[in-house]
Amino acid sequence: MQTTHRLAASAALAALALSSAAGCVVVHDDGPIVQDDPSYVVIDRGEILDTDLGYGAGVFVEYAEGGEWTIWTSCDSALSGTACYWDVYVSSQSAIDQVEPLDLELDDQVEQTSTYDLSFYANTALGSDAVRFRTGPGDLVSLDVLLDGYRSPDYLVWWENGQIVHGAPTSPAVFQPNAP
């Protein structure tokens, strides 16, 4: 499993994940490499996320009734002039099936590595790349997100308790739907 570098400005970057000032520039400290314990978060069922593509960097997580998950990416390339290279590792407590890549280009990839795991690699610039899949209704799903090769839970975005959340405290983040 990958190791992590803690982000020097995690609070500031998390707040900027959807804003037009967000950058794909990631600052990493030179401290010891630490393996994070997972953080557990709630995700609201049926909420849809939106962003101005090309102006905010993030990995957006949506959950729909019956165990349908959509994970999609955005980058601030209109501002930074560079692409974001996302690696998203997904694990579920139940089988992952009906995997459907959405809006992928030749350099993007979705790979189901086992019955319970998949990997999503996206080179995102001005558009969005996505994957949709199903798990058991209400089952836990763990996401480990890397941006340009560094663990980056700060860029996870989802709905929790009626509010949009920007950034998980650690990676992986374990999502618990608030309803099946």
Q: Rounded to 10 degrees, what is the CA torsion of 177, 117, 88, 141?
A: 10
Query: pLDDT tens digit string along 5-52?
Result: 222 222 222 333 333 333 343 333 433 334 568 999 999 999 999 999
Encoded tokens for 117: 């795991």
Q: Using the predicted structure, report yes or no on whether residue 2 has a pLDDT greater than 60.
A: no
Q: What is the rounded distance in angstroms from the CA atom of residue 156 to the CA atom of residue 171? A: 10
pLDDT digits (tens, 9 = 90+) for 115-131: 999 999 999 999 999 99
